[in-house]
Structure 1
Amino acid sequence: MQCLISITFVLIVSIICFFFSNHIDYRITALILLMTVSVTAMLFDIIPILITAILSGLILNFFFIQPLFTFHITNTEDILLFFMYLIIALVSAVLTYKIREAENKARDKEEKEKTIQLYDTLLNSLSHELRTPIATIIGAIDTLKENKNKLSENNQTELLEEIDKASIRLNRQVENLLNMSRLETGTLKTKQDWCDLNELIYAVIEKIAVVKNEHTIDFVTDEQLPLFKLDTGLIEEIIRNLVLNAIQYTPKKSVIKIVATHQSENCIITISDTGHGFPENEIEFVFDKFYRLPNTKTGGSGLGLSIVKGFVEAHNGSILLKNNTNSGACFTITIPTEASYLNYLKNE
């Protein structure tokens, strides 16, 4: 019954939008359909919500994005808009459902009140974090479409870079949300294998090069570093979150230094910067979920550092934050693990 009602609701809204399609831009239609998905997420169970989100995306494609009455999209910007819509619709639907589910449980148990507050904080933060990159993408696409022949090649490249940065930011928020869900539900299991830490760190630096924001990332390969038995996916997320956090909260032209060493039975990774550091009285709270330093610039959901801590602890390791003597902050990650130099590993 819920599926039938939710599908009917989406169809009615879509018919109304199609009737006025000559007067309403298809991007406005996308926002109306997204609002429809959010309303169903406030009323129904998860299956009808997901059906509504996927159906609304298909309707947007078939009836409103050129060429009409086909699922084929020829325009690159429209392809990007379509996939961004699906991601936002699904994330918004699931997140709204989770918040509603938490609120229902909290009515029976007082201890759930804190959970509701945390999810509300997450929703408010992500609403900003999702809207900002989406607005950037749509604005850049509009400019490219309306002034394509007037823009220089450099201006077009700059707009494409803005779209790239916004997409990375949006993807980071979705990944953080999924990673936090894995940590909270206890489904996170490490899959450890031999890892070349030098290559892994270089790969992370390459992936975030587009958002370096005039920062310098200093990393020197240690050819004497052994292979470590680690979960490469989690270690990559740890380093990426710490570097992106430093890029976001330190002044332009700051230096971010990454050092990987081997001490006893431990893999040691330090990530330091030349920014302003952390207030001493706030250091003990920075790894708390949803925590953000007072008077910091907007942006971020307060999940990055708590995810870092969770991934480090999944390796039975520890992470320590302290301010440098001169300026900036330093994160030190210590993970007990097996180590093997290449010659030994080949003989195993």
Structure 2
Amino acid sequence: MERVRRELRGSVIALAMVAVTTVVVYGLTQSLEVRRGSVIYLLPVLLAGWHLGLIPALVAAVAGVLWSGYFFFSPYYSFYLSRPNEILNLLLFMVVAGVTSHLANSMKQQTELAKKREKEMGNLYAFSRRLAAASSAADIYRAIEEHLASLVQRKVVLFGAAADGEAKPEQAALSQRLHGAIADVQAGRTLATTVDDGAGDIWLVRRVSQKNADFGVIAIDLGSVPPDAIEEVRKRVDDVLSDAAATLERLDVARALNDAKMRSETELLREALIGSVSHELRTPLASILGAATVLSKSAVIAKDERLTSLAGVVRDEAERLNNDIQNLLDATRISREQVRPRQEWIEPQDIVNAALERRRRRLSAHHVSLDVDSNLPFIYVDPVLVEQAFGQIVDNAAKYSPPGSPITVAAKRNGRDIVLSVRDRGVGLTAQENAQIGERFFRGARHAAATSGSGLGLWIAKAFVSANGGKLEAASAGAGQGTTVSIHLPFATPANEPEVGPDE
């Protein structure tokens, strides 16, 4: 029915084009007395054949021949066709209509095919990029699921080859019948099956690849398909999935899946080991640190300069080890995405003062100056995380600048941000180091051998600041020119900012 309406609409448009041509011809015959020009009626035939199809083109051909006989063949102003050349005109117009419409259809099909191939290539390129960027098996399965959904143009739920891990919401929402069919396909009891989900929809359940079980099992919603049409729809979907499986095999997705699973398991094992060892070390370390602190303040030890120095060394090294362990624990939290800011209103000065107070002994060999604006607005952040991040920056300034050199700590308002910064006169940063600063385990080659460190400090600081909606930046004029590291924190936050009274 839709096709009939389309042909009728096209025929009306073709007749309209013939009518416009007739008006032009009438003007020519009346003003210029033109009596040879029937070929002008080929124009609407060509346009109709190219844009509207065969039927409208034939309508335009018949109408064009009738009007050309009316104007250009005697007896003039009559629709009577009797001469051979008039019949020949009709045949010629019809041939032109058929050839033009055929060429137009061929061109349209070629254009649609080219567009389809271009879209498929674009989707395949995007899919391959997602595979390259995937860091886990879950990411790869998600990419496969979305790629297959775009191919079959239906709702798709993909189950990985392994049954471990948490079920996704769309998987949990499937009916018990579907889960039973999926379990049968995963166990290899059947390669493919169709099942009614109990709500009137038919689902096709099968392996993505019949050759490789690593690609998982796919459930495709075929919708409310009549029983006699299920096989036809299933065949179309099977053809698409066969091509998709061949593509996955060419891209060597199975190896990528295995590599991702191995990386994920290795990462989990490493983080569990770090967390376990770190916690086990902190208990005896706390005792060592407490004992060293008591010894360093003992009157008996204070009388012996050598023992005082040794007690100080033990305390300093215990504090350094404690900081390293804390960095490892923080790194584990960040890797597991377990950083959950507990935000509250706080003054920026309190964060700066807390960070400097905790590192008073470490900064004792430097000239520390403060540059803090008065009446800074409150900021809505997690004070513990931001103080740890700022403390890491202060530690680095003390570590990488010579004793006796100045360190400037500032807290300023800059537009819509509060900027906490630390400027030193130490080793500075080269352009390459500045580009990599804040990356996990990165340490500049110039001082990696001479200065101890794990390369985690600024990475942790950057993660903590980002969790609070801020950003960390480093600037340096070059090697040996010192460094300025800044934390930018927004202060335009919820409307319930506390009001500071005059006495505060």
TM over 0.5: yes
Residue identity in the other structure for 1:305: L
C-alpha separation in 2, matches of 1:238 and 1:335: 12
Contact in 2 for aligned 1:196/1:226 (Cα 8 Å): yes
Deviation at 1:161, TM superposition (A): 2.4
1:165–1:210 CA contact under 8 A, matched in 2: no
Q: What corresponds to 2:45 in structure 1? A: none
Q: Distance in 1 between matches of 2:497 and 2:267?
A: 50
Counting only pairs closer than 5 Å after superposition, residues 146-161 of structure 1 correspond to structure 2 as: 152-161=303-312
Tell me how far 1:115 sits from its aligned partner: 9.0
The alpha-carbon deviation at position 152 of structure 1 amounts to 2.9
Q: Give 1:324 deviation, angstroms.
A: 3.9
- Give the alignment partner of residue 109 of structure 1, picking from 258, 267, 271: 258
Report the CA distance shift for 1:192/1:300 in structure 2 as closer, same or farther (over 3 A).
same
Give yes or no for contact 2:378–2:491 (8 Å, CA) kept in 1. Answer: no
Determine what percentage of the aligned residue pairs are the same residue: 25
Q: Tell me the amino acid that sits aligned with residue 193 of structure 1.
A: E
Q: Which runs of 5+ in 1 are unaligned?
A: 1-105
Amino acid at match of 2:258: K
State yes or no: 1:270 paired with 2:421.
yes
1:213 Cα deviation from its structure 2 partner: 5.7
Matched, 1:279 2:434: no
1:190 to 305, 318, 341: 341
Residues 114 and 303 of structure 1, relative CA distance in 2, 3 Å threshold: farther
Of 307, 327, 331, which residue of structure 2 is paired with 1:180?
A: 331
Provide TM-score, normalisation by structure 1.
0.55
Pair 1:327 & 2:481 matched: yes
Aligned-pair distance for 1:205? 1.1
Number of the residue aligned with 1:301: 454
Q: What one-letter code is carried by the residue in structure 1 that aligns with 2:308?
A: T
2:154 aligns to what?
none
Matched, 1:236 2:390: no
The change in CA–CA distance for 1:115 and 1:204 in structure 2 (over 3 A counts) is: farther
**Aligned-residue offset at 1:210:** 1.5
Larger radius of gyration: 2
Deviations 1:149-172 (A, max 9, x none): 798344443333223212221111
Pick one of 299, 306, 322 that aligns with 1:171: 322
| Cα distance, 1:279–1:257 mapped onto 2, change above 3 Å | same
**Cα 1:316–1:343 shift into 2, 3 Å:** closer
Q: Is residue 433 of structure 2 the alignment partner of residue 255 of structure 1?
A: no
After TM superposition, give the deviation of residue 270 of structure 1 in Å: 1.5
Distance 2:375 2:319 in 1: 33
Question: What is the CA-CA distance between 1:251 and the residue it aligns to?
Answer: 1.6
Q: Which amino acid aligns with 1:110?
A: D
Match of 1:44 in 2: none
What code does the residue aligned with 1:310 have? Answer: A
In 2, the alpha carbon distance for the partners of 1:343 and 1:290 equals 40
SS, match of residue 321 in structure 1: strand
- Are 1:266 and 1:336, in contact at CA under 8 Å, matched by a contact in 2? yes
Q: CA deviation at 1:187?
A: 1.3
Question: Does the CA contact (< 8 Å) of 1:255 and 1:273 recur in 2?
Answer: yes
Task: State whether residues 369 and 408 of structure 2, in contact with CA within 8 Å, keep that contact through their aligned partners in structure 1.
Answer: yes
Determine the C-alpha separation between the residues in 1 that align with 2:439 and 2:496.
37
Is residue 227–residue 341 contact of structure 1 (8 Å, CA) maintained in 2?
A: no
Work out whether 1:317 is the aligned partner of 2:470.
Answer: yes
User: SS of the residue aligned with 2:373?
Assistant: coil
Alpha-carbon spacing, 1:320–1:151, altered in 2? closer, same or farther (3 Å)? closer
Where has structure 1 moved over 4 Å in runs of 4 or more? 111-120, 148-151, 339-343
Shift, 1:266, TM fit: 1.5
Aligned-partner Cα distance in 1 for 2:385–2:333: 12
Q: Distance in 1 between matches of 2:405 and 2:330?
A: 28
C-alpha RMSD of the superposition: 4.0
- 1:302 Cα deviation (Å)? 0.8
Aligned residues: 228
Q: Is the alpha carbon distance of 1:312 and 1:154 closer, same or farther for their aligned partners in structure 2, counting shifts above 3 Å?
A: same
Report if aligned partners of 1:246, 1:273 keep a CA contact under 8 Å in 2: yes
* Contact 1:213–1:252, Cα closer than 8 Å, also in 2: no
Give unpaired runs (5+ residues) of structure 2.
1-254
Tell me how far apart the structure 2 counterparts of residues 345 and 254 of structure 1 sit (CA, whole Å): 37
After TM superposition, the structure 1 = structure 2 runs for residues 27-176 of structure 1, keeping only pairs within 5 Å, are 109-111=258-260, 112=262, 152-176=303-327
Greater relative contact order (CA < 8 Å, ≥ 6 in sequence): 1
Aligned equivalents of 1:190 and 1:117: distance in 2? 24
> Is 1:336 equivalent to 2:490 in the alignment?
yes
Contact residue 268 and residue 335 of structure 1 kept, 8 A: yes
Counterpart secondary structure, 2:386? helix
How many angstroms apart in 2 are the aligned matches of 1:221 and 1:158? 36
